[in-house]
Structure 1
Amino acid sequence: MTTGPTIAVLATMDTKSEEARFLTERITREGGKALVVDIGLGGESYDFASITAAEVAAVVGRDVGRLRGGPRDEAMASMGQGAATYLRRWYDAGMLDGVIAVGGNQGTAIASIAMRELPFGPAKLIVSTVASGNVRSYVMDSDIAMQFSVADLLGGPNVITTSILDRCAAGIVAMGRASRRERAMAPGDVVAVTAFGNTEKAVVRAIEEIRANGLHTVPFHASGACGSAMERLVEDRRINAVLDLTVHEVLGELHPDDIYAPVRPGRLTAAGRAGVPQVVVPGGLEYLCFGGVATIPPRYRGRPTHVHNPYNTNVRTTAAELEAVGALIAERLNAATGPVAVLIPLLGWSHVGSPGGVLHDPQANDALVRTLRARLRDDIPLRCYDLAINDEEFAVTAAHTLLDMMARSPETLHSA
């Protein structure tokens, strides 16, 4: 008989023990097994906790009593890393299918630190009082789901939170079952393709071409979190090759006020370290991304600007900015241990940066081309085409450049 999924329950037990007990009971009722981890700083013990707060602290060499009296951020980081150690240990041993946490600001922060250390796949859900706000700092590039608790999580479940917690317990058990099925599936060969709305036409056509050759494709929106997630998946050997049509996030590393700056530094590094084939195109480098027009920092105003929508404004990059990002791209690609090629569509790197677009500026773009030509390793091809990125011919050429590289590097296949 197949047993139900095993779900870790994370809670600051000094303030959320009743909610944790409720979740444990409901998970069991739904056919799952609960492992309760106390991530709080209180000194009490709880008979239904699988791992105590003292054990969480001790596994990373800390004492929970000393953490209680020390800096709050240090204590939260230590408890998060301690909980992560147990979660990863259980997951690697095949003993964990999902994680659910319940908490306020502190509990959410600790739980998210722990969950982010797990790979993509096991179910991750946080029921939180802060889930209705900007949760990017908690989720970052992980596959964490967040549920707003609506009412505060104090004094045990009430007429509002009981319903929410009940549904979340049922949900995490179902998600855990799905995670277990997914883990048992044999992966195929996977190609990552990076995208923007302004490069979508090229991305869609390239994906068609790659899929026609029997490979899986996964598009990643170059929104900061997605690109960082792609890098993690390459590190985890779940992606075999990268068609980096949209590298805007590298620009964001040099301009952190760009709303699509990566949540973790290091774009264009994972594929190189892993030695998997990568084709790099300067998609989305013609502009910086900000929110509404009023949010554009003063130093970027007065340049050609495209209002993508009321919440996304694109501001033209200068030749000097492109020289700087070109140097960074060359530095990272030069460190690659696998095959690399750089393709440049000379007529434009996005819809709005191509002929007729408000951000079309081939003279400024040439600064990037000159920098790459001067700085790239001699064995890294730099190929220029009198095409725009969204031209079908360019998209097909980019796809087949990667496919040819993969065919010449068979050791990169079936390794995910």
Structure 2
Amino acid sequence: MVAVKTILVAGTYDTKDDELHYLAEIIHGQGGRVLSMDVSVLGDPSRPTDVSKHQVAEAGGSSIEAAIGAGAENTAMQIMGSGAAAKALELYRAGSIHGVVVLGGTMGTDLALDLCAALPLGVPKYVVSTVAFSPLLPPERIPADVQMILWSGGLYGLNSICKAALSQAAGAVLGAARAVEAPRRERPLIGMTSFGKTVLRYMVTLKPALEARGFEVAVFHATGMGGRAFESLSREGAFAAVMDFAPQEVSNHMFGGLSAGADRLTNAGQAGTPQLVAPGCYDLVDFVGWQAVPPQIEGRPTHAHNRLLSSAVLEPGERRAVAKILCGKLSQAQAPVAFVLPNQGCNEWDRPGGELHDAEGLAAFCDEIRSLCPDTVALHELDCHINDGAFCDRVLEIFDGWMASGLVRATA
């Protein structure tokens, strides 16, 4: 028997009453349960919801009266967004909900992003939105595992077109809640960042080696959203240790590329998680391949990975700036940090004769790391390339030392 799952259905019941009740009917018809949350401000639902708008506002430390008195819909919905996020997390922690679906236009979607961001990775999160996949949505606000469905033809009232989207969302969130395999954490988890094997290869060696030592390894694709997921879990203290060998998203954030947010390379340290760090692809800035090259990196040597993604090379002075930022972030860590510096190159294209190799830039970066590396960070400079076996050998040597000292344990 499949356990009955409860889905949180949230939205502005004063303006989307019919649509939200339709979502609930589909979920009920598929054998699920619904817990309804009203996030409206001015009007009232046709019948009481499980979580009222007053309870939502209070969960955010405010009140409906304050939201109305703000005199601005933007301020009012931020009050409700804060409360909806807090209440959803409370319900999830209490075991009252197993997934969430939020419905909205721009106002509802703004709130939905806050609500979904409050829930841990792995909790099914669906947003049915009139602006799904729109450039209105800044990447830094999109939860790393949220699913979005375009609410076509649904701005006002039910019709056969929007019912297709709503019914799919209802089935999707309930199916996800039934099928999801929640992280078991039977073995301590190591978080690693990387890119595909054509550019960085260490995970091919390190993952099985770490698993043989009793750890589970999750490798995150450091192209913006992957880094956000990595940082989210780091913030929760989910990792026994991290191997952040592709912090390129720091460079991206500095120079207008595919950012994972300003907090990249900070959360593991703040959570007291030991960090092994290396500068994989530090010298590249990723940008959207089908758009014009951003003005700040125009004219540089570039590499097109595919039609979606291209990378431009940083100049020597910019690489020094990256080194300074990396060292500054690592200096704030509340746990041991080892920085492994392969001085012969930090991605496969950065080798002598490689299409993106810049010996002067690499030397400038290494020089700045040597000069600025904090006393609290153990610097391991290697006379090799990051894709050489010697890199993995040193990483495992450092990690084994951490295990021998009890800093990292193979049992939870």
* TM-score (structure 1 length as normaliser): 0.90
Partner of 1:177: 178
Secondary structure, counterpart of 1:151 in structure 2: coil
Change (3 A) 1:293 1:27: closer
- Larger relative contact order (C-alpha < 8 A, sep ≥ 6)? 1
Secondary structure, counterpart of 1:383 in structure 2: strand
Partner of 2:49: 49
CA shift for structure 1 position 2: 7.7
Measure, in 2, the Cα distance between the counterparts of 1:311 and 1:137.
16
Secondary structure, counterpart of 1:193 in structure 2: strand
Secondary structure, counterpart of 1:191 in structure 2: strand
Partner of 1:194: 193
Aligned pairs (5 A) from 1:228-307: 228-255=228-255, 257-258=256-257, 260-262=258-260, 264-292=261-289, 295-307=292-304
Secondary structure, counterpart of 1:24 in structure 2: helix
Partner of 1:224: 224
Partner of 1:60: 60
Deviations 1:379-401 (A, max 9, x none): 53212222211223323432443
Opposite residue 31 of structure 1, the aligned amino acid is G
Change (3 A) 1:85 1:30: same
- Note if 1:334 corresponds to 2:331: yes
Secondary structure, counterpart of 1:359 in structure 2: coil
Q: How many residues align?
A: 409
Deviations 1:328-363 (A, max 9, x none): 211222222222111111111111112221221122
Measure, in 1, the Cα distance between the counterparts of 2:126 and 2:269.
32
Change (3 A) 1:146 1:396: farther
Opposite residue 191 of structure 2, the aligned amino acid is A
Partner of 1:211: 211
CA shift for structure 1 position 282: 0.6
Secondary structure, counterpart of 2:386 in structure 1: coil
Measure, in 1, the Cα distance between the counterparts of 2:140 and 2:322.
28
CA shift for structure 1 position 147: 1.3
Contact 2:199/2:349 (<8 A) preserved:
no
Change (3 A) 1:218 1:312: same
Partner of 2:128: 127
CA shift for structure 1 position 280: 0.7
Partner of 2:149: 147
Contact 1:206/1:396 (<8 A) preserved:
no
Contact 1:5/1:177 (<8 A) preserved:
yes
Secondary structure, counterpart of 1:54 in structure 2: helix
Opposite residue 24 of structure 1, the aligned amino acid is A
Change (3 A) 1:403 1:277: farther
Measure, in 2, the Cα distance between the counterparts of 1:379 and 1:171.
48
- Note if 1:32 corresponds to 2:32: yes
Secondary structure, counterpart of 1:238 in structure 2: coil
Change (3 A) 1:348 1:75: same
Aligned identity (percent) is 31
Measure, in 2, the Cα distance between the counterparts of 1:361 and 1:314.
14
Please tell me the root mean square deviation across aligned C-alpha atoms, in Å: 2.4
Contact 1:199/1:389 (<8 A) preserved:
no
Measure, in 1, the Cα distance between the counterparts of 2:21 and 2:337.
53
CA shift for structure 1 position 97: 0.8
CA shift for structure 1 position 226: 1.5
* TM-score (structure 2 length as normaliser): 0.91
Measure, in 2, the Cα distance between the counterparts of 1:329 and 1:132.
32
CA shift for structure 1 position 145: 0.7
Partner of 2:100: 99
Change (3 A) 1:403 1:151: farther
Change (3 A) 1:6 1:403: farther
